[in-house]
Structure 1
C-alpha cells in the first residue's frame, strides 16, 4: 500500500472500525469534533477501568461508541441484567461486590452509569425504561436479602463502599485496552489481567502478537505513551504486556500496513469476502461494511490465579528485552 493510500482519511476511518467496532459515521464525527486519539478526558478513564471486570469478563458488549467524555456500549437486551449484576455494588456476606460508588441513572432510551464524586459516563444504549425495570426486578430477586447499594444509597457512598481497599491499577492503560477490544474479535478467547503498572493480554488465535503490538504503538489507533512486550507464546496462544513508556517521546511513526493487512485477513470468512479490498478501497458510507456483532470471551488458563478483586494474577513476567516503545502522543 502506498503512503498516500495509507494516510487517506477513508482508510484511517476504516482501520479504526477494525479496532473499536464503531460505525464509520461515528468515527468521522469523533475525528471531526475531537480530532482523536482515543483518550478519555478527566476521570473518565477511572470509570472505564472500574468496569473492566464487567466488560472484559462477559461476552456481552456488541459495539462501542467512543468520545473523550464518555463510552457508549451496545448490549443485547437479554444481557443487560448480566452486565449490571457484575457491575452494580451490593453488600453480600463476603463483602461488597461490583464497583463501589457506581450508580445507574435511567434515561429515555438509554441507561447511564456514573461514579459518585467523579466525572465520567458509560452509557448503555437501547436500554429503555422497560428493559431497566425488568433488569431491576431480576437483580433484586437475585440479591435476596443482600443490600443493593445502587438503589439504597442513590446519592452517597455507603460506609461499606468507603472501606473497600482499592488496589493500585493502571487505569489509563485499562481504559485504553477496553476502547480497543474489537482488535481481538477474531480470537477464540481473550484474557485481560491488570496489575499495578501494566496490563497483560492473552488470547487464542486471531492476529499475531507482532501485529497487535505494531498497531498499539505505531498506528493512528495506538495507545499514546505505551510500550508493548510480546510474550513469544507458541502455537495459537498469543500474549502481550502493555506498559507505560519510560520516556516521553519515541521514534517517528509510520502506519504498519502489514499489521493492518493481517488483522483484515483474520476477520470472519463472510466479512473477509465482502471486504477483500477494503484496506485499499476503504468504505465511504455507513453501509459499505457492517460491523458484525462480536463477543469478548474470557477464560482462566493454567498460568493465572484468583485475586480478591475479581481479576487474575499473571504468574510469570516477560523478558523486557523485546519491549516496543510507543510513538509520540
Structure 2
C-alpha cells in the first residue's frame, strides 16, 4: 500500500531513502529528586521506563482504523516505511539542485522549519537524530538564527519546562547527537541530557553518556550545568536563547535527581569554561554550539565539537499533572 505524498509549499512532497528507527533508551523506573541532606523532598515521581513496543502496537492499531493526515508515508520495495513529514524537514534543509529555491526575502525559513517540525508527531521527532547528518545540523543552526527576525516566532518555545518555569520536580530528558568531539569525550557524539527545575526557581541539567561502559565515568565525573537565558553567543555575537554553563562542576544544587551522583569537578575540557549555546528549532527540537571559552583572558574561544541536535525524549520525559 502506498499513500499519496503531501505537497509542500516550498519543495513538494519529499521522499528519501528509508531510515532506521533508533532503539528506545532504557531508563530506571523511578527518578525522584533529593536535596543535599539526603532526604526526599516533595518532588513528583518521574517514571521513565515504558514498554515502547506495546505502545507502538496499540498506536498502530488505532491508526489502522483512522489514518490521520500526518500518517502519510511511502513503503519501499523491502517493506520499510518512511514518513513524508520527516523527509520534508530533510529536503528543506538540503533541497535537490533541480528545485528552484524561493526568494529568501519572501518568507522566513525558520518559521517554515518550525511548522514542519510541529507537524511531526512528538513520538516520531527523535527520527530526526538519524535523518539529519552533521552538515544538515549545522544548516539547522543557521536557519534557527532567522527566528529572531519575527518577534512572535522568537517567543515560541521548544521546551515547556524552560518556557513555563515549571515548579520544582519537573524534569525533561533529551537525546543528543553531534560529531567531531575529541577522542577523550567522543561519547558525547551520542548522548543524553536531563533538564530539571529546583526549589530555588532555577533550571539545571546534566550530560549523560549513552554507553554502559561510561557509567563509572558518569558517576565519578557527572557533567552538571546551569541553564541561563542569554541573548547571544559570546564568541560570535550571534543570537541564541539559552546557555548551558558548565563552570567547574561544583554547583551548589539545592536538590538533584535521587539516582544522579553528587556534583563533582569537571574533567577536561569541561573544566575550562565550556558553554553550550542553544537555539530553539521547533517543538521538542533544539540545536546548540559548544564553546571552550577558557579561564585565561587572553585565551581564544574555540568550538569543542560540531553543532549538537537535541530532541526531547517523548517516552521518558516527565509530564506534570
| TM-score (structure 1 length as normaliser) | 0.22
Report the structure, 1 or 2, having the larger helix content: 1
| TM-score (structure 2 length as normaliser) | 0.22
